[in-house]
A and B are shown apart, each in its own frame.
Chain A
């Protein structure tokens, strides 16, 4: 049998260790290594019992997210109604695993492109906005990954043809070390589309200086050296852009030589 003194000592040690666990846990919660977003994203679910179910999933959340990812792929291949069924599945995945970049990316793209095209005309802007919201939520959960910034910039650039809004986002993408060269090209194109040719050329030159071999930047610099003051060429670009915008039901942009005044 254990001696009474040893038993007392063990009780004291156990109590001390138990008490010490509290400040340790608080220090863990304050540590930058603790990612509250995993918990907060689940706590944010407002749909009744879903919260409890997700909490119960505990350590198997990411596995559940993977399983749902497979399900969403299955719905994608079904097409039609499957596309609409994909939406709650993708939203649940992003809640279960807020760092699942591909799920955020697919959710934003799916809303802004696929569901938007499938929706009735009056609902179309709503779905594009849902795509923007998805990318912005994804960026909030993953501010250190360039992919979702690039997707948001592409949505502004390609889907909304809102180059002014795309420019600051492309600039953020270019700021990432691991961002592909194409993002700098897109920034230059956004400047070109907003008639900020000097800034566009500066970006092309920066691309060339950084990567040495960049035939796209080389030919763009060459091109603008020739056409920079070619008003007829700029007008033809403007007409082409407006034709493109008209095709997707967007309002026309002002003529390049009138653009600053029109924006005022």
Chain B
């Protein structure tokens, strides 16, 4: 466990000092601030637009970061052969994998928190009121990002970084269409089609369920039970992706 902690902390320190992480964060914040320039074009809907844009920026830049972290975690270590130094020590592969994953989680948490706080502050300037509900929406987005990160990391153990990146974006896109798959399954007359659609719904998580943007923007009450269920749902997928990743990383010939 100490090794996992060290790997995790080392990864956080390394990622924070990388230019690409700082650039993603700076661009994300810049986009949020740029939102102020567009709001005058949306009469009567300035706050809605700011919230929408801000939360979308968190999701998009968070996704970029999640995929980047996942593909730059295992692959480059193997390519540069730096992993062998660690493997020569009494560090089990799964602890190494877990450490890298926890490091990615921490970096994503830091970036989501920074972008979320900037958004809350930007809205405070507009509304003169602290809108902490936005941080709730950001936290569920964070869980979705961690799930994507776990998937891409698992794929990157046996596939090229390019393939893992494409898989990550595809997974995100398909995840957002799962609500429609569910609707189709509900309205399907043919039992076979319904079962096939239900299976598809289980294979790929419904990422839209982690998106509280519309509820926050349209001031719709979200019961805590919904947040707990979605969190549990995200954790279930996380466990699946982590287990697949650990097994695949252990099978890898190095």
Q: Which residues of A contact B (CB under 8 A)?
A: 1-2, 6-7, 10-11, 13-14, 17-18, 20-22, 24-25, 27-29, 31-36, 38-40, 42-43, 55-56, 58-63, 66, 69-70, 73, 97, 99-102
Once the chains bind, are B226 and A102 in contact (CB under 8 Å)?
A: no
Given contacts A20-B236, A31-B229, A33-B225, 10 further A-B contacts (CB under 8 A): A2-B247, A2-B250, A10-B247, A17-B239, A18-B236, A25-B206, A31-B226, A39-B183, A62-B56, A69-B49
| Closest CB in chain A relative to B244 CB, distance in Å | 6
Range of interface residues on B (Cβ < 8 Å) = 35 or more
Once the chains bind, are B180 and A17 in contact (CB under 8 Å)?
A: no
Residues 67-125 of B at the A interface (beta carbon under 8 Å)? 92-94
Once the chains bind, are B229 and A28 in contact (CB under 8 Å)?
A: yes
Say whether, besides A2-B93, A73-B42, A99 and B183 are in contact (CB < 8 Å): no
Say whether, besides A35-B214, A99-B220, A62 and B243 are in contact (CB < 8 Å): no
Say whether, besides A28-B230, A40-B183, A66-B49, A59 and B208 are in contact (CB < 8 Å): yes
Cα separation A32 to B225 with both chains bound (whole Å): 9
Cα separation A198 to B222 with both chains bound (whole Å): 43
Once the chains bind, are B94 and A21 in contact (CB under 8 Å)?
A: no
Q: Which residues of B contact A (CB under 8 A)?
A: 38, 41-45, 48-49, 52-53, 56, 59, 92-94, 173, 176-177, 179-180, 182-183, 201-202, 205-209, 211, 213-215, 217-218, 220, 222-223, 225-227, 229-230, 232-233, 236-237, 239-240, 243-244, 246-247, 250
Task: Classify the interface of chain B: helix, strand, loop or mixed.
Answer: helix
| Closest CB in chain A relative to B67 CB, distance in Å | 15
Once the chains bind, are B230 and A59 in contact (CB under 8 Å)?
A: no
Once the chains bind, are A21 and B202 in contact (CB under 8 Å)?
A: yes
Cα separation A1 to B207 with both chains bound (whole Å): 33
Query: Inside 8 A of A97's CB, which chain B residues have their CB?
Result: 214, 218
Question: Closest 8 CB pairs between A and B?
Answer: A33-B226, A58-B176, A99-B218, A14-B243, A17-B239, A2-B250, A21-B236, A24-B233
| Chain A minimum-CB-distance residue to B174 | A58
Once the chains bind, are B45 and A63 in contact (CB under 8 Å)?
A: no
Say whether, besides A24-B233, A62-B214, A73-B43, A2 and B177 are in contact (CB < 8 Å): no
In the assembled complex, 17 residue pairs joining A and B whose CB atoms fall closer than 8 Å, in A order, are A1-B250, A2-B94, A7-B247, A10-B246, A17-B236, A21-B236, A24-B233, A25-B182, A25-B201, A29-B182, A31-B223, A33-B215, A35-B215, A43-B180, A62-B217, A99-B214, A102-B44
Which of B93, B177, B217, B218 is most buried by chain A, counting CB atoms within 10 A of its CB? B218
Which of B44, B201, B243 is most buried by chain A, counting CB atoms within 10 A of its CB? B243
Query: Inside 8 A of B227's CB, which chain A residues have their CB?
Result: 33
Query: Inside 8 A of A22's CB, which chain B residues have their CB?
Result: 201-202
Residue in B41, B211, B239 whose CB lies within 8 Å of A13: B239
Query: Inside 8 A of A58's CB, which chain B residues have their CB?
Result: 173, 176-177, 208
Query: Inside 8 A of B179's CB, which chain A residues have their CB?
Result: 38-39
Say whether, besides A66-B48, A102-B45, A42 and B180 are in contact (CB < 8 Å): yes
Query: Inside 8 A of B208's CB, which chain A residues have their CB?
Result: 39, 58-59
Once the chains bind, are B233 and A28 in contact (CB under 8 Å)?
A: yes
Cα separation A118 to B236 with both chains bound (whole Å): 57
Residue in A6, A17, A29, A40 whose CB lies within 8 Å of B240: A17
Once the chains bind, are A14 and B240 in contact (CB under 8 Å)?
A: yes
Cα separation A24 to B206 with both chains bound (whole Å): 11
